[in-house]
């Protein structure tokens, strides 16, 4: 793993954000990157908000049923406590975390950790969602994914809400 030195010469990690609309493949990409880090024998920890119980209470699961073991947590500060001596931290559904998530990611990166965050960047109205705009502003690398519109076949960058 390549880690750029910061100005003081210490190891520094970085923050990667994978964003997009629902069904764009954000979680799939997060799982792919984390599994590759594990193949490289890096120590990996994965976190998701405790409120996310859609497919599994503990694991991060993509719409394609790919899965990776994770730890559900109530608040972002818990990540700092639980991510000791790790090389890579994965965070899914970041839009549901509290305002401290940005500070947590920055602190991890300063420790030399590669932080990979996935989440919705906009709500169904196309408005910035949760803490994702702040994460995008501080990210070192950004990957924006798009879904496909089932009606016209074009790319879709805003989540469609069926019932209001």
Confirm whether 2 is domain-assigned: no
Confirm whether 53 is domain-assigned: yes
Confirm whether 3 is domain-assigned: no
Give residue 96's domain range: 14-156
- pTM recorded for the entire structure: 0.85
Q: How far apart are CA 138 and CA 141, in angstroms?
A: 9
Confirm whether 151 is domain-assigned: yes
Q: Which residue has the tokens 């990957």?
A: 143
| Active-site residue set | 93
Confidence tier at 3 by pLDDT (50, 70, 90): very low
- Answer for the pair 29, 145: CB distance below 8 angstroms, yes or no: yes
79: domain CATH number?
A: 3.40.50.300
Q: Which residue has the tokens 């793993």?
A: 1
Mean pLDDT of 50-64: 63
* CA pseudo-torsion sign 59, 161, 156, 76: negative
Calculate the alpha carbon distances from 93 to 5, 8, 9, 45, 101 in Å: 29, 33, 33, 15, 11
Please check the confidence at residue 161 and state whether its pLDDT lies above 90.
Answer: no
Domain count, the chain: 1
pLDDT tens, position by position, 119-151: 999 999 999 999 999 999 999 999 999 999 888
* CA pseudo-torsion sign 143, 138, 126, 47: positive
């Amino acid at each position: 793993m390549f880690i750029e030195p910061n100005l003081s010469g210490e190891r520094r990690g970085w923050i990667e954000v994978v964003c997009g609309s629902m069904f764009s493949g954000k979680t799939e990409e997060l799982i792919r990157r984390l599994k590759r880090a594990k193949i490289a024998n890096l120590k990996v920890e994965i976190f998701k908000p405790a409120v996310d119980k859609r497919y599994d209470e503990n694991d991060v699961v993509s719409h394609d049923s790919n899965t990776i073991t994770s730890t559900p947590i109530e608040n972002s500060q818990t990540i700092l406590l639980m991510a000791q001596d790790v090389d890579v931290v994965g965070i899914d559904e970041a839009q549901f975390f509290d305002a401290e998530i940005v500070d947590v990611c920055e602190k991890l990166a300063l420790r030399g950790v590669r932080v990979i965050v996935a989440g919705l960047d906009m709500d169904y109205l196309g408005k910035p969602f949760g803490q994702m705009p702040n994460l995008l502003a501080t990210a070192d690398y950004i990957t924006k994914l798009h879904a496909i519109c089932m009606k016209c076949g074009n790319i879709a960058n805003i989540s469609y809400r069926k019932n209001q």
